[in-house]
Amino acid sequence: MTTQGRGLHAHVLENLGPAITSGEYPPGSVLRTDELAERFEVSRTVIREVVRVLESMHLVESRRRVGVTVRPTEAWNVYDPQVIRWRLAGTDRSRQLRSLTVLRYSVEPVAAGLAARNATAEQCAALTEQALGMVATSRGHQLPAYLVHDIAFHRLVLRGSGNEMFARLGDVVAEVLTGRTEHQVMYENPDPVAVTLHVQVAEAVREGNANRAEELTREIAVGALKELDILSP
C-alpha cells in the first residue's frame, strides 16, 4: 500500500471505528462497501482493507449478499488497545474507565506480589527509576511527562511478575492511563499519596516483600477508583 493509501486507510479507520464503538452504527447495522467508499471518497479497496482491520477486532463481520454487519458488543475484542482508545473517546467513557480500572484492581496487585518474587535486578532498578521519574514530574502541571513514567512503571510491574498473561495487559493499562490523562479524568497534579505509593511499591518489589507490594498496589487501584468517583461521575 502506498503512503497515500495508508493515509486514506488510517483516516477511514479513525472515523469508522469510533462511529461503531460509540453506537452511531449499532449492532446489527449493515454497512455497504459502495456507500462507505462514496461517503469517505476513497476506493472500495481502501474500504475492504479497513473492514479487514475491523473484523480482526471482532467489531464487524462480512457476509456475501448481506454486507458488513456490526457485531454485538459482547463479541468485540475489548482488550484491543485501539478499541479501548475509541471507547474512551466516546460518550460511554465513564463506564469504560470504571470497568478497566476494576480490571486493574483485580490484576495489578497480584502482579506486584509476583514481581516481588520474580523480578530481575535490572527490572527492580528500572522500576525504582520510573517511580522517581513520577516524583520528579508530579508537580508543575507536567502530566504528559508524568504519564510516560506512569505507563513504564506499570508495564514493568506486569512484566516483572513473570506471568506472560499479565505482561500482555501492558498495552491495556497504557491505554487506561493515557485515556485518564487525555480526557482529564485525573488531577492536574497527580495525587501525592498515589505518587508515594508507587515509590513504596518499587521498594517492596526490590526487597522481595510480596505481601507489601500487593497491598500497596491495591491501594493505588482503590485510589484510582475514588478519583473516578470525583472526576467522572
- Residue ranges of the alpha helices (H) in the chain? 3-21, 33-40, 44-56, 81-88, 93-118, 121-136, 143-160, 164-167, 170-182, 192-207, 210-231
The pTM is what?
0.90
- Count the Cβ atoms, other than its own, within 10 Å of residue 61: 15
**Looking at residues 168-184, what average pLDDT do you find?**
93
Burial class (CB in 10 A: 0-12, 13-18, 19+), 50: buried
At residue 233, the pLDDT reads: 63
Indicate whether 229 pLDDT > 90: no
At residue 4, the pLDDT reads: 53
Domains of the chain (ranges plus CATH)? 3-75 (1.10.10.10), 81-231 (1.20.120.530)
**Looking at residues 214-232, what average pLDDT do you find?**
91
**Looking at residues 224-231, what average pLDDT do you find?**
87
At residue 36, the pLDDT reads: 92
What is each CA distance from 113 to 100, 101, 118, 181, in whole angstroms?
20, 18, 9, 27
At residue 7, the pLDDT reads: 86
**Looking at residues 89-103, what average pLDDT do you find?**
91
Q: What percent of the chain has pLDDT over 90?
A: 83
pLDDT-based confidence at 5, cuts 50/70/90? low
At residue 18, the pLDDT reads: 95
**Looking at residues 113-138, what average pLDDT do you find?**
98
**Looking at residues 87-104, what average pLDDT do you find?**
92
Tell me the average pLDDT of the chain. Answer: 93
Residues with Cβ within 8 Å of 3's Cβ and at least 6 positions away in sequence, in order, are none
Indicate whether 203 pLDDT > 80: yes
At residue 121, the pLDDT reads: 98
Closest CA to 186 of 214, 146, 215: 146
